[in-house]
Structure 1
Amino acid sequence: MSQFQDLKYKFNNLDVFGKIIAVNVIVHIVSFLLRVLKLSGILAYFQLPSGFSDFLWQPWTLLTYGFLHADIWHLLFNMLMLFYLTRVTGNLFRHKMVLNIFFLGIISGGLLYLCIANLWSTNFFDTDRSILLGASAGVSALLMFVGVYMPDSTIRLFNTFTVKWKYIALFFVVIDLVRILLGINQGGYIAHLGGYLLGFYYAKKLQDGTDIGKGFERLADSFMSLFKPKSTLKTVHRKKKTSKSSKTKTEFNTLNKQKQIDTILDKISKSGYESLTAKEKEFLFKAGKD
């Protein structure tokens, strides 16, 4: 029991991205046990089917398929990419915005998969028995977003050499297109393309000052509020007199902080993360934790 409490404590202390990775690992372990127990049929209720009529009976699979993986290597690659990409974006953008990109990428990948499977004139990827699973479309969306919005941001690989994220994004897009043309896991790589398109569009609209994920964010917040326990405590509210000048000062500080963040993000998009001064990096780190 103490081990369970210890694991629960560690889970609760993870950030939201760490919790998503942990949930994916837990789901994979449960999936493995279900297969061992010959109960893998249960998983079909959470995998995205290629048939549109089948999908209409289980629409939730447009999201749940992103938490299931074919094997340990599929899971490991996706979670490693998710870890590094959320470290790049987590300190620069609101965590909810990063989640918007990830989950909208999963949805976009699933929708493109369904469209190709049901509207293409030929059996493009053996759709009679095809299913989709894996978080790759969400990871692809984040990868493309970073490559477009912060083209000169870098990652240090194996502690030996530095690579710009835009080149990593380009590499995977080319590889996925080649695999589709060769007929290798076409359904999965079609979903990747859906994620790339979402990430590209999200980055371009954000550069224009529009966050296209706001509507999805409100919908997700409304859904999650259904599971929050309602407090039975009665609170008495008394309006505290505050001077107009203190309120104005608070608003000014908030506005000034946002302007600083926008200026730094603009600098990153033009010259890359490494161009920031130590003071600017520290400011972004603290802002990301607020």
Structure 2
Amino acid sequence: MAIILLCVISFFLEMVPFREFNFISAFQFDPGFLLTRPWTLVTYIFLHNGVWHLFFNMLVLYFFGTALEQRVGNKQFLGVFFTAGVLSAIGYTFLSQPIFNISPGPMIGASGAIYGVFAALTVLEPNIRVYVYFIPMRLKNALLLFAVFDFFMVNSSDMIAHTAHLSGLFVGLYMGFRMKKIHEKYMKSRYAGRW
């Protein structure tokens, strides 16, 4: 909820007409300024391009974020969210041009971080039932559907950073498998010798 609140506050600040200061330009992530403006690896996550961009991202974050946080706790949830967010931007920077021949421009939005949360939750609870455009399916199928969609849309001109989505997704998968392995190891040691 704190992340959602920060995103909503940031959205309202985007609309304030500051004199001699552009809020979005100051905090958006631009691959060309990665080394000179490293804070934007985090701040871009809290900016959104319009009310619908904000609404859908926060809706997905509320449901998947709450579910993941209940399973792994606050610290691990934040670890997944921010690691996926930062590495989404880095993946967007270094994968777009050499692999997909896309020149990456400035980027805003929490989508990459949310993909990380989505993927980590899928590893831990793959059979949760969700609705995608009113169609019921298991979480693992929904993740696969979105991954395939982003992969095929990478070279589209829809102004969506699909390589950032995919980067966040792979980070979330990795972190989800790590958490699952640690949990299984803990449970095995806890019940070792019991019958």
The Cα shift of 1:44 comes to 1.6
The Cα shift of 1:162 comes to 4.3
Residue 121 to residue 139, structure 1, CA distance change in 2 (3 Å): closer
Contact 1:31 1:40 in 2 (8 A): no
- Structure 1 counterpart of 2:147, from 173, 188, 192: 173
Matching of residue 120 in structure 1 with residue 95 in structure 2: no
Residue 49 to residue 83, structure 1, CA distance change in 2 (3 Å): same
Partner of 1:20: 3
Contact 1:148 1:203 in 2 (8 A): yes
- RMSD (Å) for aligned C-alpha atoms: 2.7
The Cα shift of 1:86 comes to 1.8
Structure 2: stretches of 5+ with no match in the other structure: none
> Equivalents in 2 of 1:206, 1:96: separation in Å?
12
Relative CO higher for 1 or 2, CA cutoff 8 Å, sep ≥ 6?
2
- Structure 2 counterpart of 1:32, from 15, 22, 27: 15
Partner of 1:138: 113
Matching of residue 47 in structure 1 with residue 47 in structure 2: no
> Equivalents in 1 of 2:123, 2:69: separation in Å?
16
Partner of 1:204: 177
The Cα shift of 1:171 comes to 1.4
- Counting only pairs closer than 5 Å after superposition, residues 1-290 of structure 1 correspond to structure 2 as 18-34=1-17, 41-51=22-32, 54-116=33-95, 120=98, 124-127=101-104, 130-155=105-130, 162-185=136-159, 188-209=161-182
The Cα shift of 1:121 comes to 8.3
Residue 29 to residue 89, structure 1, CA distance change in 2 (3 Å): same
Structure 1: stretches of 5+ with no match in the other structure: 1-17, 211-257, 264-290
The Cα shift of 1:116 comes to 2.8
The Cα shift of 1:38 comes to 6.5
3-state secondary structure, aligned to 2:42: helix
Residue 183 to residue 155, structure 1, CA distance change in 2 (3 Å): same
Residue identity (%): 25
3-state secondary structure, aligned to 1:64: helix
Contact 1:125 1:183 in 2 (8 A): no
1:217-254 Cα offsets, whole Å, 9 max, x none, are: xxxxxxxxxxxxxxxxxxxxxxxxxxxxxxxxxxxxxx
The Cα shift of 1:157 comes to 7.2
The Cα shift of 1:115 comes to 0.9
Q: How many correspondences in the alignment?
A: 188
The Cα shift of 1:134 comes to 0.4
3-state secondary structure, aligned to 1:58: coil
The Cα shift of 1:92 comes to 1.6
3-state secondary structure, aligned to 1:182: coil
Contact 1:179 1:185 in 2 (8 A): no
